């Protein structure tokens, strides 16, 4: 059901963040696994609330760049997650735009791969 789907999405986001921390220079995490689960919740909330708004506001840019501006939006959301993580002392840091850009790209790829592996569809928060 919905709870299982949200739980799986949460775990996928946590693993994708973990991979980004391991691979991308300038994306760091220095706490335990429980803290990374909290960072993933923060990242999920930032994405759920701000991604649709940013995508709508930058729609012309997204169209003109054939969707490439979505990677910039990913980077900005990851930068915000890093900033919020610092406010709550969660130990997750993103050192600027380019680390956020590459980490956002990697997180998208890892999430897609893991979603396909577990057969999980994108979770729609609002059902019609």
pLDDT of residue 2: 86
C-alpha atoms less than 13 angstroms from C-alpha of 106 in its C-beta half-sphere:
20
pLDDT 10s digits, 47-73: 999 999 999 999 999 999 998 999 999
User: What is the tens place of the pLDDT at every residue in 76-119?
Assistant: 999 999 999 999 999 999 999 999 999 999 999 999 999 999 88
* Lowest mean pLDDT across 5-9, 13-17, 35-39: 5-9
Q: What pLDDT is stored for residue 24 in this prediction? A: 98
Residue 128's pLDDT band, with cuts at 50, 70 and 90, is very low
List Cα–Cα distances, 66 to 63, 70, 111, in angstroms: 5, 9, 22
């Amino acid at each position: 059901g919905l709870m299982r789907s949200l739980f799986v999405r949460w775990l996928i986001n946590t693993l994708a963040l973990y991979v980004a921390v391991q691979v991308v220079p300038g994306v760091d995490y220095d706490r335990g696994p429980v803290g990374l689960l909290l960072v993933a919740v923060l990242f999920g909330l930032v994405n759920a609330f701000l991604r649709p708004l940013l995508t709508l506001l930058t729609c012309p840019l997204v169209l003109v760049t054939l969707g490439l501006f979505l990677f910039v939006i990913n980077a900005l959301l990851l930068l915000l997650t890093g900033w919020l993580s610092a406010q709550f002392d969660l130990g997750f840091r993103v050192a600027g735009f380019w680390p956020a850009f590459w980490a956002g790209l990697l997180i998208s790829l890892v999430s897609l791969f893991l979603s396909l592996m577990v057969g999980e569809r994108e979770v729609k928060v609002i059902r019609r």
